[in-house]
A and B are shown apart, each in its own frame.
Chain A
Amino acid sequence: EAQVTQNPRYLITVTGKKLTVTCSQNMNHEYMSWYRQDPGLGLRQIYYSMNVEATDKGDVPEGYKVSRKEKRNFPLILESPSPNQTSLYFCASRKTGTGGFIGSGANVLTFGAGSRLTVL
């Protein structure tokens, strides 16, 4: 089954304790992205990756790190979590476009099931 898998789905941790949220996709997608969802703010992009070894900041990157050493994996790292990082996190992936071909249909994101993170 084509899917994006995130782990853990739920986590309660304490301030300053490093944690990693894993994300893996089995669709050979080039593009991967992390979002956080907060009440009243919608989904905001943290980081994205266009392909292996190609990552870039989104709108709210502070306090997060990512890596893309393999095409299928895109972990989100919180080096020193703080309470304001308590949120619902989504990983998503899609194929990139085919270079100037309008309507390539490549822009539909597949989302993971979400990871609820609480930092005390």
Chain B
Amino acid sequence: AQTVTQSQPEMSVQEAETVTLSCTYDTSESDYYLFWYKQPPSRQMILVIRQEAYKQQNATENRFSVNFQKAAKSFSLKISDSQLGDAAMYFCAYTAEDYGGSQGNLIFGKGTKLSVKP
């Protein structure tokens, strides 16, 4: 069964600094997607970034980037120039490629709570 592990329950970063959140996963599939979701105090689930496993290039979205290591099954999130608004719970998630008939269900890690200090 696929699993997603976030080993850091809580992290803290100084405003304007860089922080990296860790995520590892276990799967026997070769085609899959990985995601980072942000959940601010409003509880809304917000997609931060997505990585397709068949792409070697790491995904980037403005100040957010990932370090995707397929062989190591690692998918870390780097937040550069941290802002107060980045304070939230961050969830790593995995889904296998959806070939129509397959489930394609999203599997979440337990989350990392990020605090940003002014």
Contacts and interface: CB of A to CB of B under 8 A. Distances in A.
B106 interface: yes
The range of chain B's interface size is: 20 to 34
A94 B91 CA distance: 18
B108 A43 contact: yes
A2 interface: no
A107 B99 contact: no
Contacts of B35: 108
B98 A96 contact: yes
Interface string B22-51: 000000000101010000000111010010
B105 interface: yes
The range of chain A's interface size is: 20 to 34
A43 B100 contact: no
A102 interface: yes
Interface of B: 6, 9, 31, 33, 35, 43-45, 47, 50, 52, 54, 91, 95, 97-111
